[in-house]
Structure 1
Amino acid sequence: MNSSAIIFGGSGYIGTNLLTQILKASVFEKIYICDIKPLLSFDLEINKGRVVYIEIDVRKPIKFNIVDVDLEKAGYSILLPYIENQVTNTLNILTLTFLGP
């Protein structure tokens, strides 16, 4: 298993409950919590490297540098152009949703 999850707004009530359930299920090796509000009460999982908190304000443009994803090794290199397009489209939608046209 070499998988990761990203939860936006993961420091609030719903996000922390979702994080707790995901951790219990052991579905992902690493979970990224992206929120403007600090993540509390998960110090043990953060110290283990299982949970990573990233301070992000979704009302502003989000730039991710996904460098640790090896699509060729995973056998998905043919999907790279599609994935890059989908990430760009998603970020554009997020920007329009939170900032307006």
Structure 2
Amino acid sequence: LRGIYFDTGKATIRHESYPVLDDALRVLQANPNVIVEIAGHTDSVGSDTYNMRLSDARANSVRTYLISRGIPPNRLIARGYGESMPIAGNTTRNGRQMNRRIEFRVLSD
């Protein structure tokens, strides 16, 4: 599944991410026993505490979207990881944008 991205300092889902969320929605609808973790991540701009809160808010934004589309809340666990798990360097704008993301992890099926 492609990533879901956010602007710096924001927990608002970027418009271009909705097709990705809708893909995730279809997968969850087709697999009603699957429980997923929605993992929120940030770039390294800001303090560790700020980034943990922001990543948690981002994960919860995605969770709220999926719940609003009919996925039961008990199937969605939102967690923020802050800047602790980058997938790219934080020295470039592109790298920071890649690190502002959501990942889905299947916990049980």
Q: Structure 2 length as normaliser, TM-score?
A: 0.35
Higher gyration radius (CA):
1
Q: Structure 1 length as normaliser, TM-score?
A: 0.37
> Which protein has greater RCO, CA pairs closer than 8 Å, 6+ apart?
2
Q: Which has the higher strand share?
A: 2
